[in-house]
Chains A and B, each alone.
Chain A
């Protein structure tokens, strides 16, 4: 399992009710269900991924987060997870609002466009950056709204969203992000993980 998933799992206490938005093949869901007794649901847009979740015995709803989150009542989950997908929505702000309405807390992870390798790629090669967390070409990437850790940090602050934890991940290294180290973390982390609440 990805290190990112381990970090997310560590943020969640046992026996909670959790919704994984864009749950893909259900790897994280299965881990949470088996190891933390989580009452877990998934929302996934790809029919193939939905089938993979069903084959793992997971409860998954085929749907689109931009349209289908509205059916869940306010604060009906302890945590809502959104892993590396916020940038792929037409309207990320609306999705973020919905995550925080449906979940008592939300865990959002962001592939960091401020990561030094991304910056170097654009600066020296002069082409759109391709990295481990941004593997696609410019013409086939699902990412519509790339942002940096700094962008996201400022964005949630401006929306009066409470940040409980913000973590920077670089391969296996996990560290805490705060106002004073934001510039450094924005350069050296390829992934930001935020535990937030509104």
Chain B
């Protein structure tokens, strides 16, 4: 992960009080931008990434040499058209692509590991808010993101109700469910059960808890796909063999696929960051911040909301997205909602799903025309 020279960083001088009670200051936020900010500074879109994403939204990610995580949606003439809009995305704090996180050093030059403060979705968006000052943007044209990115969208507009004109949470929830927490805990247990984890005090790439992290990724990856999608893509197809081998090697293509997903993930992601970010997701409960009334989270904003879910997403199902719509409607907010037909599961928002991409583009472009 030696890509420091490709990473743009903002050092935040202003102290940030975290939900855990600790305060951080002089901390880095790594960000990337696409397109250009116009003279009125009214064309900026802040994109929030999901659990394993980073600031490299589109184009070639310099760390992985692969396409950015939202290349289908963001770029010239795409749904989020970078010929028109200025797209900003930053790595969340707690992450591992340059923003302040557990792989950074503490003031005594010792790597934080699990001594890094536990962070929340609220802390993440409060940290990212500094980017508005940095770019001199008074009001964003839009904020958007899927999955954990959607959670940040909801928290951002709740914290800063007059800082975005349009708000697009995608395939997300206002509160992590027991099932969501359970899957995240499975991943964390896989990491901490790896003897190389050493209570988070692993230091070099050779001794990192790669096996645990790979298992965490494999388990999570299943939750991003639908049963139908998996069945259609893999079925019971065998991996480069004519017949079963009566052993524990990867007989089935799905096994081989998951192992591959696990192994490539380990190369680009830090195990401690995985613990921290999944914890932040589990702690997310926006209604609880407002005594159980989700509508209260949005009562001070005039922003125009557009909420999108996917039929085959069982991780953040349509009903959880609709709960946000209901909370907004009950206070008369301007909210649109569409459920996109797709058999690609939770991952639909990252993939080439034409109905999704055209809805996103139409909503943004029509809203911008009315600007």
Contact = CB atoms under 8 A, between A and B. Distances in A.
Decide whether A and B assemble into one complex.
Answer: yes
Interface stretch (B16-24, B41-49, B258-266, B327-335): B327-335
The interface residues of chain B, by DSSP majority, are classed as mixed
B199 to A, nearest CB: 48
B243 interface: no
Interface residues of B, number: 24
Contact of A72 (B330, B341, B366): B330
Nearest to B369: A57
A59 interface: yes
A61 B359 contact: no
A58 B363 CA distance: 8
A57 B334 CA distance: 13
Nearest to B363: A54
A156 B326 CA distance: 29
Interface in A28-63: 41, 47, 50-51, 54-63
The residue in B329, B330, B366 that gathers the most chain A C-beta atoms within 10 A of its C-beta is B329
Given A51-B359, A54-B362, A59-B304, A73 B338 contact: no
B337 interface: yes
B367 interface: yes
Contacts of A54: 336, 338, 359, 362-363, 366
Contacts of B330: 71-73
A4 B369 CA distance: 30
Interface of B: 304, 325-326, 329-332, 334-341, 355, 358-359, 362-363, 366-367, 369-370
Interface residues of A, number: 18
A76 interface: yes
Contacts of B338: 47, 50-51, 54, 60, 62
A61 B337 contact: yes
Interface of A: 41, 47, 50-51, 54-63, 71-73, 76
Given A51-B355, A51-B358, A54-B362, A59 B341 contact: no
Nearest to B358: A51
Contacts of A59: 304, 334-336
Contact of A61 (B325, B332, B358): B325
Nearest to A48: B355
Contacts of B336: 54, 58-61
Given A72-B329, A72-B330, A61 B335 contact: yes
The 8 A-B pairs with the shortest beta carbon distances in the complex, nearest first, are A57-B366, A71-B326, A59-B336, A61-B337, A55-B362, A71-B329, A54-B362, A62-B338
A57 B355 contact: no
Contacts of B329: 61, 71-72
Contact of A76 (B332, B339, B363, B369): B332
B325 A47 contact: no
A184 B186 CA distance: 72
